[in-house]
Structure 1
Amino acid sequence: MTDLKADDLNIEAIETLMTPKALKAQMPLEGSALESVRSARQTIFNILDRKDPRLFVVVGPCSIHDPEAALDYAARLKKLAEEVQDTLYIVMRVYFEKPRTSVGWKGLINDPFMDDTFQIEEGLKLGRKLLLDIVSMGLPASTEALDPISPQYLQDLIAWSAIGARTTESQTHREMSSGLSSAVGFKNGTDGGLMVAVNAMQSVSHPHRFLGISKGGQVAVVRTKGNPYAHVVLRGGSAGPNYDSVHVAQAEEELRKGGVSTNIMIDCSHANSNKDPSIQSLVLKDVTHQILEGNQSIIGVMLESNINFGNQKIPADLKELKYGVSVTDACIDWAETERSIKEMAAKLKDVLPQRQTP
C-alpha cells in the first residue's frame, strides 16, 4: 500500500465554526431591534414600489475595521437621519467583507484583528454584535453579500444588500440573492456594462435550488422563492462614470428592454468619482439636479463616508491607525457628509412627493 492520496493536496487545515443557530442564540435579534429591521425592509420595499416618495441613501464607511468608531459614526448618522427623514431614508453601510482584485485585507469577518490570524469566528461575533448595536438604535444597516455562507449568520439584521461589480455576473451570488430577505442592488460590471446586472435581475426574480448550509451548520439544498426587490446600482466602470442624465436614460432603456425594474440607484463613489472622494458631493449634486429636472427612475444613492477624510494603509503597529479613517477606499468626512445630505434633502423636499412612477 502507498500513502498517495487524491484530495486536499493544497489544504493545510479545516477548522469547524460555530453554527449560525448557535451564534444567533448567543446574540438574538428580538424586541425593538427585530421590529426595527422589519420596518426598515418594508420602508425600502415601499420606496421601490413607489408607495413611499422618499429616496433611500446608503451611506457609511467603505469597510468597518473599528467597531468603536463605527458606533460613533452610527450615532451621528442616526441624528442626521431623524433630521432629514421627511425626504430621505438613511441606511448605514456596514460592510464586513471586501472583494480583492488580487490580495489584501478582506474585511472584519475574515481577519478581525488585522494581523493575518484570520480568526473568522471572532469576526462573525464582532460583526453580529455591531449590527445588533446599530439596529437597536433604530438605524437600518446594509452590507455587501460576498461570501455565500455568512448570510446565515448575519442577514437577519440587514435591511438592504449589495452585490458588487465583481460578483454580479456570478451564478452563486445570483442564486444566493434570490433567497435574501432584503432588497438587493446589483452593480453594473467593472467595465461599466449594464447587461450583467440586467441578467442578474432577471435571474434573481426566479426560484433557485443550490448547495448551501442550514442554520444548524449542515450542508443542505437551499430552495428559494425568488427576490422581487432587485434593482440596478450604477457605479461607473473602466469606460468612465455613468451617473449623468444620458447614461441614466440609456440604463432606463436597457432595463425596460430586459423586462426588469427601472428603479436606479446611483453610487457616488467608485468609478463615478474616479476614486476621488471629494468628487462624491458633486455627483450627489448632479443626481439632485436630475430629479429636479424631472427624472423619475432614481430611487436611491450611495456614499462612502467616514468620520475623517481619506484613507490609510494598515500599519505594522495597529496603535498607529488613525481614528475614523478608512483602511480601504477613501471616504468623505463627517462634516461633508452632513452638509451634502442636508443640502439634497432641502432641495428635494417639495419635489419628491410629486414624482410619478416611470
Structure 2
Amino acid sequence: MGMNFKRRIPTSEEIMQEIPVPKDLKTIKEKRDKEIKDIFESKDDRFVLIIGPCSADKEDSVCDYIGRLAKVQDKVKDKILIIPRIYTNKPRTTGVGYKGMFHQPDPTKTPDLFEGIKAIRKMHLKALSEYHMSAADEMLYPENYIYLSDILGYIAIGARSVENQGHRLAVSGVDVPTGMKNPTSGDIKVMFNSIVAAQQSHNFTYNGWEVESTGNKLTHAILRGAVDSSGRNIPNYHFEDLIRVAAEYEKLELCNPAIIVDVNHANSMKRYYEQPRIAKEVLHSRRYEPLLKKMIKGLMIESYLEEGNQSINENIYGKSITDACIGWDTTEKLIYDIADHL
C-alpha cells in the first residue's frame, strides 16, 4: 500500500469535547438557523448574501472581515441576511496548491491536518461568538463536515463534487440549507438530480456508522456558470438561463425551490471585478419576473479586505491566496446597492 499512516486523526466526538459550543452560542445558532431556514422556506422575504473570501486562509484577517460584515448587516437587516463565507477546504483542479486551512492552518508551513481541524473549528466558533454569524463552508470532503456539523449555518457542494454519490447521501442527512452547484459542464440536469437525491432519505455508511438520513428539504440550486471543452467560460446568470432553471424547478415539483447565483467563477469569466455588474443584472431580472423574485433567494460573492489575489509568499494582509476577490470598499458599496434595489 502506497500510504504512510502518520498518526490517528481525532474523531469528531473528541474534537467537540475539546472545543465545545458553549450553551449561549447554541441558543444564538438556533435563532440564526431559523432565520436562514425561513428565507429558504419562503417565510421571510429577505435576500441572502453568501459572501466572503474564496478561501479562509488566516483567522485574524478572516475575522476582521467578518467583523466589518457584521456592522453592515446591522444596517441592512430588514432587507438582507448576510452569511459569511468561511471556506476551510479548497478544491484544486489538478490537486496541486493550497488546499485550505483544514490542511494547512498556516499557508506558509507544511500541511498539518491534526492542527487544521482544531483551527477551522475555532475560527467558525469565533465568528459565531464575536459576531453572532454562523457561516457557510464547502463540503469538499463529506467526512470532514462532521467536525463542523454543529456550527455551520449553510453548506455548498462544489461543481466537481455535485455528481458524487457520497456528497449527495451526506447532504441528505444535513439539517441546514445546502446549495448544489451546477457541474463545470453546466448541465443543470446533473444539479437537479443531486437536489432530488439529497431531498430523499437514504441508508448508507458514514463516519464509521450505518446511518439512515431524513432527507434535506432545503437542498437547492447554485448557478456558477460553465466551462466548455475548449476551456471557455459560459455564464448562466442571464434572464433566459434563470427562467430555464425556474421552469425546471416547477416541472420537478421539488420542496422549497430556491436559486442562489454565484456571481464569480465561470459567471464572471474569472473577472472578479465584474461581480457587482452581474449582481445588478440578476436583481433586475428578479424584479422583472415574479417567478424569479420568488425563486432567487440570494447571491454568492467572493470578497475580501483587499482586491485581487496574491501568491502565498507575498503575505499581504486580507488578500486572497486563491481566486481573486473584490476588496472591502467595493463590497460595502455593493451590499448597500443591493439593499437599495430589492
TM-score computed with the length of structure 1 as normaliser: 0.90
1:142 aligns with 2:131: no
Aligned partners of 1:59 and 1:304 also within 8 Å: yes
The match for 2:29 is: 37
The match for 1:220 is: 209
The match for 1:112 is: 105
The match for 1:356 is: none
What count of residue pairs does the alignment treat as equivalent?
331
1:100 aligns with 2:92: yes
How far 1:116 sits from its partner (Å)?
A: 6.1
Q: Which amino acid aligns with 1:289?
A: H
The match for 1:52 is: 44
Larger radius of gyration: 1
How far apart, CA to CA, are the structure 1 residues paired with 2:80 and 2:14?
Answer: 37
How far 1:265 sits from its partner (Å)?
A: 0.8
Question: CA RMSD of the aligned region, Å?
Answer: 1.3
Aligned partners of 1:90 and 1:140 also within 8 Å: no
The match for 1:251 is: 245
Aligned partners of 1:41 and 1:183 also within 8 Å: no
1:330 aligns with 2:324: yes
Write out per-residue CA displacement over residues 242-297 of structure 1, whole angstroms, 9 at most, x where no aligned residue: 11111000111222233324311111111111111110000111112122223322
Of the three residues 68, 92, 99, the one matched with 2:60 is 68
Q: Which amino acid aligns with 1:91?
A: I
Matched residue of 1:274: which SS? coil
How far 1:340 sits from its partner (Å)?
A: 0.6
How far 1:181 sits from its partner (Å)?
A: 2.0
Please, which moves more after superposition, 191-200 or 20-29? 20-29
Write out per-residue CA displacement over residues 150-209 of structure 1, whole angstroms, 9 at most, x where no aligned residue: 121112110010000000110000001011121100000101111111001110111112
The match for 1:79 is: 71
The match for 1:238 is: 227
Write out per-residue CA displacement over residues 297-325 of structure 1, whole angstroms, 9 at most, x where no aligned residue: 2111110000000011222xxxx411100
Matched residue of 1:222: which SS? strand
Q: 5+ residue gaps in structure 2?
A: 229-233
The match for 1:267 is: 262
Equivalent runs, 1:188-207 vs 2, <5 Å: 188-207=182-201
1:301 aligns with 2:303: no
How far apart, CA to CA, are the structure 1 residues paired with 2:270 and 2:144?
Answer: 28
How far apart, CA to CA, are the structure 1 residues paired with 2:319 and 2:213?
Answer: 39
How far apart, CA to CA, are the structure 2 residues paired with 1:157 and 1:48?
Answer: 19
How far apart, CA to CA, are the structure 1 residues paired with 2:119 and 2:333?
Answer: 31
How far apart, CA to CA, are the structure 1 residues paired with 2:85 and 2:222?
Answer: 15
Write out per-residue CA displacement over residues 4-51 of structure 1, whole angstroms, 9 at most, x where no aligned residue: xxxxx2112242012211211122112332122222221121111111
Aligned partners of 1:209 and 1:223 also within 8 Å: yes
Matched residue of 2:142: which SS? coil
CA, structure 1 residues 76+115, in 2 after alignment: closer, same or farther (shift >3 Å)? closer
Runs of at least 4 residues of structure 1 off by over 3 A?
Answer: none
Write out per-residue CA displacement over residues 46-70 of structure 1, whole angstroms, 9 at most, x where no aligned residue: 1111110111110000001111001
Q: Which amino acid aligns with 2:216?
A: N
Q: 5+ residue gaps in structure 1?
A: 1-8, 214-218, 349-358
Equivalent runs, 1:279-358 vs 2, <5 Å: 279-294=274-289, 295-296=292-293, 297-315=295-313, 320-348=314-342
How far 1:343 sits from its partner (Å)?
A: 0.7
CA, structure 1 residues 191+263, in 2 after alignment: closer, same or farther (shift >3 Å)? same
Matched residue of 1:195: which SS? helix
Q: Which amino acid aligns with 1:185?
A: G
Aligned partners of 1:165 and 1:190 also within 8 Å: yes
Matched residue of 1:56: which SS? strand
How far apart, CA to CA, are the structure 1 residues paired with 2:70 and 2:196?
Answer: 35
1:157 aligns with 2:147: no
How far 1:145 sits from its partner (Å)?
A: 0.8
Aligned partners of 2:223 and 2:260 also within 8 Å: yes
Aligned partners of 1:97 and 1:144 also within 8 Å: yes
Matched residue of 2:84: which SS? strand
How far 1:117 sits from its partner (Å)?
A: 2.8
State, as a whole percentage, how many aligned pairs show the same letter. 34
The match for 1:127 is: 120
1:208 aligns with 2:202: yes
